[in-house]
Structure 1
Amino acid sequence: MTSPPQPAAGPVSPLNSPLEPESNRKLAMLLLAIVLYIGVLLLPTPAGLTPAGQVALGLLVLVVTLWISECVSPANSAVILTGAAVLGLMGKSLTPGARPMKSADALAAMLGGFSSTAVLLVAAALFLAVALKHTGLDRRVALLVMSRVGISPARLTLGAMIVGLVLALFIPSATARVGAVIPIMIGITAALGLPINSSLGATLMIVTAQACSIFNMGFKTGAAQNLISLDFMQKAFGRTVTWSEWFLTALPFTASMSVVLFLASLFLLRPQVPPAAEAEAKLRAQLAELGPLSGAEKRLIAVAVLLLVMWSTEGVLHPFDTTTTTQIGIALLLMPRIGVMHWSQAEKLVPWGTVVLFAASISLGTLLSKTGAAGWLAQQTLGQIGLSALPVVMVVGALSLFSIVLHLGFASATGLASTLIPIFIAFAQTLPVTKETAFGIVMIQSFVVSFGFILPTNAPQNMLCYATGAIRTKEFAKIGLVVTVAGLLLIMLLSATVWPMMGVL
């Protein structure tokens, strides 16, 4: 007797899905974040803290849990943050003496970040990154640099760093920059007949990720966390930093860090390169496949150069701020015949979740400041360890170490900046130093929030490179620890020497 036919295998049941444990973990972490938020709200209001300030601290606990656990996407965390804020703030006064807020008032407070010029600048700069990707100019730049530097361990390492430097001038997204470079690095490794997890492949990927973090600090427009930090600083201190001021302040640090990364990669990873004729030929062939510069690429280069000139001469040759000039540049890129893309093409490629998260982070930081929660938290933490009695150099070093350790649990420098910078501002304003020095202390910390060097999970660009299979966590951490320690020592050295002479401290 024949057995009845078995039913065809269908899709895996969600109950048996291999993704079920991960989904359960994410749900558990989401519930934990909500429970912690409610728990903070149910605690007795501490002395010196307003009820609205207690809500702000609860929101900070909520969103930090969401960011560290990555149980929801960054954009989703912004939506959850806004909803929780409205429910928590209703019936409470934003500042002492103000009328209790209705739901519309609470929502308006949490949407305030969307009106920040920093959010507009981030969105515009992401459009610039899309233009580079759309025209293929980012790939041409990477191939051109790598084909010119030559094939040797030192030259290839230097080439990877130069590519990162050039792209950092125009692309504010670390993920976008590294995403453009990774295929080139994989191609170079393959052209040399080496596996991606060879010593050369690992070196190129680690350098690509670590150099990206270094150059994030080098340019005001290099990373979203720079802009969110400056937005908080401008509101607190009543002054901002031009593109050229940021560049000159960061230059001695980023230049020194680049040297450290270059030497550490060569001596600790010891990449090996076979005879290079084939690789050089393949690089030239890939570059030749691109053909001559297209009209769109030429127009994009013209706009990019114009923007670089306008950024670097802000406050010197013209009165326009970085946001305004960037908006003008994007308008040119979207114009018929003059531009390089249409809105319908660009909007599909812009990571709008990044913009939403950025705006929500500004709203949270502003709420922490307005309610006095940032000042209270700074006094209860940093104020209790006697930093105010230490020299400025030691204060900078202690704050930097605090930030570096906390970064081990963060995958987003934007999230870290929105968490720490308002607290550092509140603390710096309590120190017995001038307003200019307090501003300088916070500005240096806005560099340190980009210290995502140690673990692959410390930054999105690290994870992109790690996902290629070229890197082992041990290799990444070995270089990352050296670069981090050197960076901390450089921060303190420059705080004692160069930066005071430049008027930063």
Structure 2
Amino acid sequence: MSIKWKSWVPIAVGLALLMSPVPSGLKADAWHYFAVFAAVIAGLVLESMPVGAVGLIGLTVAALSGWVEKDPNKALRWALSGFSESTVWLIVGAFIFAIGYRKSGIGRRIALLLVRALGRKTVGLGYAVLLADLVLAPATPSNTARSGGTIYPIVSNIPKIYGSEPGPTAGRIGTYVMWTAFAATAVTSSLFLTALAPNVAGLAIAKKTVGVDVAWGQWFIGFLPLGLLLIATVPLLAYVVCRPEIKASPEIADWASKELTSIGPMSRNEIVMAALVLLAMFLWITGSNPSIALPVLGANYINPTMVVLVVISLLLLSRVIEFADIVAEKSAWEVFFYFTSLLTLASGLNDVGFIKWLAESFAKNLGAISPAMATIMLVTLFFWIHYGFSSITSHAAAVLPVVLAVGSGIPGVDVQTLAQLCLYSLGLMGVISPFATGPAPMYFGSGYIEKRDFWKFGLMFGLLYFAGLVVVVFPWLAMIR
């Protein structure tokens, strides 16, 4: 009975919106398209069907409707456009990296080393995961590459050591470790200008739109009070929220030490895998930054996804993994269909004009309130409207110019402060949903975090991060200006 109920609710949501009057100033096609998008989100939250199926059905309905593209051929191309997005393949590549970590044995070795060093207390593992991301963040401008390609394959091995597997035993420790890793990368993505590619893109938009520029050090200092606070507390907060069953396990550290002794020195495949991971990190750090990139194959810029394809090819050539392993990686292909559909559907909201209408409708009456409250309201809009996006870059491109333009027209609003608050939110907002940022679908599809819990945790941490922007960063920026 519950399955039937869950299946009908998304349809009811969509039909209710379709039959509702079209809001003033919005085209009918945009409102009808939003109805389909809302139905898809309802289906994802309620888990009425496998997430990939929900997204694919919603995408098909949207393409058939002609609300985005009237021409059937153009509509088909629009529906398939997400399958060529580099971020989608970067996520799939990160899953394939995890195969290499698993098959070579190096993932287990690194996990055992972490457990031996910090595994006596569960919360210690949380801090180890966060610090690993923090160390990589300043020089890795793709959080998908950093968290998805480097951190995730390692931390996914840690719960297994404690007998925590996806499913019924996930709550022993796996849910905590995985959520901490995901929540941590949202913080590090905002702490450093170079920790997230959309940070740089957003800054370029701010400079072009309202003439605001922020240096690397200025960015870091502006976010530092909240960054330090979150670095100190995120593992503890995740510990309270996730409530791992294993609180402490002194004997597991001794066991890990014995296991490391028993598995002996690194094997040939471990060495190859380690070398290829270091190559990937080197290329992500240097090749993803045109200002410091090294010429490779005649080019001075290497897309992070191209790095993944290069390393996967080398993994296949070196026989660390087999092509059959890639085909059999069910979770990768589930995420592929799910995230591709959501990426396209979310971009469609902007294509049909819904996002611009929503932003302008929200902001048009802000001139009557105080500058401080207007700033908070605009940042609120910018942060929480991300539920309608699966790409932080597209969010920044679509909404940031509108918010900054509105803010610059309100007497008394400090546009520099408004711009910095919006830019800092780009990394933090990645925590709110299973499609909010590149690494999200990996942790969502890991099996360690129940899908409804992911939405719940995302809202809780999103509220926390947003409150930090308003309560900590806003007055701090006013003080140091």
TM over 0.5: yes
Q: Summarize the Cα distance change of 1:154–1:230 in structure 2 as closer, same or farther, 3 Å threshold.
A: closer
- C-alpha distance in 1, partners of 2:394/2:94? 23
2:276 paired residue number: 303
Superposed CA deviations along residues 319-364 of structure 1, whole A, max 9, x for unmatched, are 3143355245334434423x52232222321512322332323322
Out of 171, 185, 196, the position equivalent to 1:215 is 185
Out of 327, 341, 344, the position equivalent to 1:363 is 344
How many correspondences in the alignment?
426
Out of 110, 124, 128, the position equivalent to 2:79 is 110
2:176 paired residue number: 206
1:488 paired residue number: 466
Query: CA shift at 1:282, angstroms?
Result: 0.9
- C-alpha distance in 1, partners of 2:135/2:159? 15
Query: CA shift at 1:500, angstroms?
Result: 11
- C-alpha distance in 1, partners of 2:334/2:479? 39
2:38 paired residue number: 61
- C-alpha distance in 2, partners of 1:380/1:65? 24
**1:151 is aligned to 2:120:** yes
2:292 paired residue number: 317
1:294 paired residue number: 267
What RMSD, in angstroms, separates the aligned Cα atoms of the two structures? 4.9
Superposed CA deviations along residues 377-436 of structure 1, whole A, max 9, x for unmatched, are 222345456699734862565347746xx97xxxxx975969976774464254244999
User: In structure 2, what residue type is equivalent to 1:110?
Assistant: A
What SS does the aligned partner of 1:447 have?
helix
Superposed CA deviations along residues 456-489 of structure 1, whole A, max 9, x for unmatched, are xx9965995567xxxxx9xx98x996x6665334
User: In structure 2, what residue type is equivalent to 1:281?
Assistant: D
Out of 372, 381, 400, the position equivalent to 2:353 is 372
**1:130 is aligned to 2:127:** no
1:52 paired residue number: 29
What SS does the aligned partner of 1:49 have?
coil
- C-alpha distance in 2, partners of 1:142/1:360? 33
2:326 paired residue number: 346
What SS does the aligned partner of 2:148 have?
coil
Larger radius of gyration: 1
The structure richer in helix per residue is: 2
The answer to whether the Cα contact below 8 Å between 1:125 and 1:171 also exists between their aligned partners in 2 is no
What SS does the aligned partner of 2:406 have?
coil
Q: Summarize the Cα distance change of 1:238–1:158 in structure 2 as closer, same or farther, 3 Å threshold.
A: closer
What SS does the aligned partner of 2:266 have?
coil
Q: Summarize the Cα distance change of 1:264–1:438 in structure 2 as closer, same or farther, 3 Å threshold.
A: closer
1:15 paired residue number: none
Out of 365, 379, 394, the position equivalent to 2:376 is 394
User: In structure 2, what residue type is equivalent to 1:346?
Assistant: I
What SS does the aligned partner of 1:128 have?
helix
Superposed CA deviations along residues 3-27 of structure 1, whole A, max 9, x for unmatched, are xxxxxxxxxxxxxxxxxx2321222
1:7 paired residue number: none
Query: CA shift at 1:147, angstroms?
Result: 0.7
- C-alpha distance in 2, partners of 1:373/1:32? 21
Q: Summarize the Cα distance change of 1:81–1:273 in structure 2 as closer, same or farther, 3 Å threshold.
A: closer
What SS does the aligned partner of 1:293 have?
coil
The gaps in structure 2 that reach 5 residues or longer are 137-142, 191-195, 209-215, 294-299, 409-413, 434-439
User: In structure 1, what residue type is equivalent to 2:159?
Assistant: I
**1:139 is aligned to 2:104:** no
**1:281 is aligned to 2:257:** no
Q: Summarize the Cα distance change of 1:63–1:371 in structure 2 as closer, same or farther, 3 Å threshold.
A: same
Moved more, 80-89 or 362-371: 362-371
Query: CA shift at 1:218, angstroms?
Result: 2.8
1:470 paired residue number: none
The answer to whether the Cα contact below 8 Å between 2:360 and 2:402 also exists between their aligned partners in 1 is yes
- C-alpha distance in 2, partners of 1:333/1:499? 51
Q: Summarize the Cα distance change of 1:81–1:150 in structure 2 as closer, same or farther, 3 Å threshold.
A: closer
Q: Summarize the Cα distance change of 1:172–1:267 in structure 2 as closer, same or farther, 3 Å threshold.
A: closer
- C-alpha distance in 1, partners of 2:344/2:306? 24
2:58 paired residue number: 81
2:2 paired residue number: 22
The answer to whether the Cα contact below 8 Å between 2:123 and 2:239 also exists between their aligned partners in 1 is yes
The answer to whether the Cα contact below 8 Å between 1:365 and 1:419 also exists between their aligned partners in 2 is no
Moved more, 281-290 or 229-238: 229-238
Query: CA shift at 1:372, angstroms?
Result: 1.7
1:190 paired residue number: none
What are the residue-to-residue correspondences of 1:319-334 with 2, within 5 Å? 319-323=300-304, 325-334=306-315
Superposed CA deviations along residues 132-165 of structure 1, whole A, max 9, x for unmatched, are 2332322221111121236357645534545776
Q: Summarize the Cα distance change of 1:429–1:379 in structure 2 as closer, same or farther, 3 Å threshold.
A: same
- C-alpha distance in 1, partners of 2:468/2:41? 29
What are the residue-to-residue correspondences of 1:445-460 with 2, within 5 Å? 445-452=425-432
Out of 22, 35, 42, the position equivalent to 2:15 is 35
Query: CA shift at 1:259, angstroms?
Result: 0.5
Q: Summarize the Cα distance change of 1:133–1:84 in structure 2 as closer, same or farther, 3 Å threshold.
A: same
1:97 paired residue number: none
**1:431 is aligned to 2:406:** yes
The answer to whether the Cα contact below 8 Å between 1:207 and 1:261 also exists between their aligned partners in 2 is no
User: In structure 2, what residue type is equivalent to 1:373?
Assistant: F
- C-alpha distance in 1, partners of 2:95/2:467? 33
Moved more, 304-313 or 485-494: 485-494
1:444 paired residue number: 424
Q: Normalised by the size of structure 2, how large is the TM-score?
A: 0.69
Q: Summarize the Cα distance change of 1:138–1:361 in structure 2 as closer, same or farther, 3 Å threshold.
A: same
Identical pairs, percent: 14
The gaps in structure 1 that reach 5 residues or longer are 1-20, 95-100, 188-195, 221-225, 408-412, 468-472
- C-alpha distance in 1, partners of 2:336/2:33? 21
